[in-house]
Amino acid sequence: MTSEASSLAGHLGLGNLIVLYDDNQITIDGSTDLSFTENVAMRYESYGWQVFKVEDVSNGLEELREAIQKAKSETSKPTMIQINTVIGYGSAKAGTAKTHGAPLGDEDLAATKKSYNLDPEKSFQVDDDVREIYTAAASRGEKAREEWEATFASYKATHAEEATALEQRFVPPATKQVLTFPECDKAMATRKYSELCLNAIAPQIPSLIGGSADLTGSNLTNLKCSGDYQSSTPGGRYIRFGVREHGMSAICNGLFAFSSGNDGSLLRPFCATFLTFAGYALGAMRLSALSKFGVLYIMTHDSIGLGEDGPTHQPIETLENLRSIPNINVWRPADYEETKASYVSAVDNLTTPTVICASRSTLKLLTGKSCMEKAQKGGYVLQDVEKPQLILIGTGSEIGLCVDAANELSSRSSNPIRTRVVSMPCQELFLSQEQSYQSSVLLGGIPTLSVEASAQHGWHRFSNYQICMSSFGASGPGGEVMKHFGFTVENVTEKGEKLVKFYEGKTVPNLMDRPIF
């Protein structure tokens, strides 16, 4: 899994990076000879790394120390130090897979401690000389901090503006940053709204850094305020990740971790690919959520509407994959207002990663009234009628269909059905609202139809019937594929009408009537 990141580190010539490879020749199944006989040193050389081998760390650490010194002196490329080690060193089971996952047992543990000249009776023992070294380090650190603070204070006295800008890079602003966005009243794809937003916030958040996995022109993530980050242009903020989705996400986690190690926020990483390729990065995206890293994921081409690339590129399950993970906000905005809301939410949430899913194709301007503030609640009444008989819930590119179908149903002369439209760009935020707010939006006990060009899984929470994808997609022009799978005003209108009819004279299952305890 480290191949992608290592290859990019070599390309970028990351001279500050030193990797210690604990080469103990053991995997869980047994000897690495069972499955892993590649020449790792040569592989890292092929990535453009400097490689050292340290043959012996059992009889002293001099050889390793020297290698680290040499690594530090090379600043134009990363270094990998391959260290010949013995797993479970000192234990009777040393050099075997048995020491990987299982406890040593009392007897072997005592013998192992003895082999290190430790007292086998003591646990979590820190020797005095070690304590001294760390205490001295703490004093040195305190002193260095005091000196730095004095220097910074005098700098601030003479360079107030620059000092404040620097401070904003160290600690999160006490109040939420007010972000400004340009005007836009054009009908566009939400990926284009995303481009506007990203380029609006990038100059306002100098710590924003990131890029795309070789889909810059499709994800529309180019930063107009900055060039590429390359070894020749280390000031650039745009990272060319290459076709390395997993590595990209893992690198963003690393960038965030680097800054959040303090209580500061030096870097706000973002990255981008097609939504369906989240499947190649999910292991690392999960770690964004688990580690509480506010990484921003921009994922375009978010449905079967992307067209001819066909089912391999068309996400079906991906929205649900992401919504199932704890601590991720998954946005699928429908217009510019909602896209702005998603960006504000991403910036505000330092401890929750945000995924913004955006369409490839141009969406119609909504006739309903979207606005940033309402969208920030995650779900809201976009268009209403008195005493609704039907509720349509949609997200992203399907909201336009819902609005058109609602207009048709509400206003037609024969058998009109009063239809409310709920836009739900972010389920997680909607579910974090007060129960009373949720009920005011979804009412409960009213036939409710959700429309999303994605898997059905998860929507039964909100709706009695779903227009959704129950299979993989198909290759064809985006509009035709959408039509083929029933994402049309006609089908939404028809299914809405049928749903109302189905429940006529019956009690509609009230999905909001669920206990909370």
CA angle, 431 then 432 then 438, to 5°:
50
State the Cα torsion 114-118-121-124 to the nearest 10°.
-130
Beta carbon nearer to a second copy, 63 or 320: 320
> How far is it, in rounded angstroms, from Cα 173 to Cα 36?
48
Q: How far is the CB of 473 from a second copy (least distance, A)?
A: 10
E strand map for 224-336: 238-240, 268-274, 296-300, 329-331
> How far is it, in rounded angstroms, from Cα 83 to Cα 53?
6
Q: Tell me the longest C-alpha to C-alpha distance in the chain.
A: 91
Query: Which one of residues 52, 181, 256, 280 is an interface residue with a second copy (CB under 8 A)?
Result: 280
> How far is it, in rounded angstroms, from Cα 411 to Cα 400?
17
Beta carbon nearer to a second copy, 154 or 324: 324
| Number of amino acids touching a second copy (CB under 8 A) | 83
Beta carbon nearer to a second copy, 401 or 499: 499
Residue 111 phi/psi, 5° resolution?
-65, -40
Q: Is 409 in the site for a second copy (CB under 8 A)?
A: no
490 is catalytic: no
> How far is it, in rounded angstroms, from Cα 347 to Cα 444?
33
Q: How far is the CB of 86 from a second copy (least distance, A)?
A: 19
Tokens of 438: 């949720």
Q: How far is the CB of 424 from a second copy (least distance, A)?
A: 15
What residues from 301 to 340 belong to the interface with a second copy (CB under 8 A)? 311-312, 316-317, 320-321, 323-327
Q: Is 217 in the site for a second copy (CB under 8 A)?
A: yes
Query: Which one of residues 18, 197, 289, 355 is an interface residue with a second copy (CB under 8 A)?
Result: 289
Which one, of 125, 126, 94, lies nearest residue 112 by Cα?
94
Q: Are 386 and 323 in contact (CB under 8 A)?
A: no
Q: Is 137 in the site for a second copy (CB under 8 A)?
A: no
What residues from 85 to 114 belong to the interface with a second copy (CB under 8 A)? 101
Query: Which one of residues 53, 70, 169, 240 is an interface residue with a second copy (CB under 8 A)?
Result: 240
Q: How far is the CB of 245 from a second copy (least distance, A)?
A: 8
Q: Is 218 in the site for a second copy (CB under 8 A)?
A: yes
> 293 burial class (0-12, 13-18, 19+ CB within 10 angstroms)?
buried
What residues from 480 to 499 belong to the interface with a second copy (CB under 8 A)? 495, 498-499
Q: How far is the CB of 100 from a second copy (least distance, A)?
A: 10
Which one, of 458, 478, 474, 477, lies nearest residue 466 by Cα?
458
Which one, of 335, 332, 377, 336, lies nearest residue 354 by Cα?
332
| Long-range pairs of 223-227 with CB within 8 A, sequence gap ≥ 24 | 223/198, 223/199, 224/199, 225/199, 226/202
Q: Is 232 in the site for a second copy (CB under 8 A)?
A: no
Which one, of 302, 156, 154, lies nearest residue 218 by Cα?
302
Q: How far is the CB of 510 from a second copy (least distance, A)?
A: 5
Q: How far is the CB of 282 from a second copy (least distance, A)?
A: 4
Query: Which one of residues 24, 190, 212, 448 is an interface residue with a second copy (CB under 8 A)?
Result: 212
Beta carbon nearer to a second copy, 247 or 396: 247
Binding mask 361-390 for a second copy (x = CB under 8 A): ------------------------------
Return the amino acid letter for 495: K
Beta carbon nearer to a second copy, 285 or 406: 285
Q: Are 304 and 347 in contact (CB under 8 A)?
A: no
State the Cα torsion 181-187-189-193 to the nearest 10°.
0
By CB under 8 A, which span of 152-160, 345-353, 418-426, 465-473 interacts with a second copy? 465-473
Q: 3-state DSSP call for residue 256?
A: helix
Q: How far is the CB of 408 from a second copy (least distance, A)?
A: 19
Beta carbon nearer to a second copy, 387 or 506: 506
Tokens of 273: 């690919």
Query: Which one of residues 282, 371, 474, 489 is an interface residue with a second copy (CB under 8 A)?
Result: 282
What residues from 418 to 457 belong to the interface with a second copy (CB under 8 A)? 455, 457
Q: Is 290 in the site for a second copy (CB under 8 A)?
A: yes
Beta carbon nearer to a second copy, 257 or 371: 257
Helix axes 245-260 and 3-12, enclosed angle (nearest 10): 70
What residues from 39 to 58 belong to the interface with a second copy (CB under 8 A)? 39-43, 45-48
Q: Annotated catalytic residue: which of 4, 245, 398, 428?
A: 245
Q: How far is the CB of 107 from a second copy (least distance, A)?
A: 21
Q: Is 514 in the site for a second copy (CB under 8 A)?
A: yes
What residues from 2 to 41 belong to the interface with a second copy (CB under 8 A)? 3-4, 7-8, 10-11, 27-29, 34-41
Strand order in the sheet with 79-84: 18-23, 79-84, 50-54
Residues tagged active-site: 245
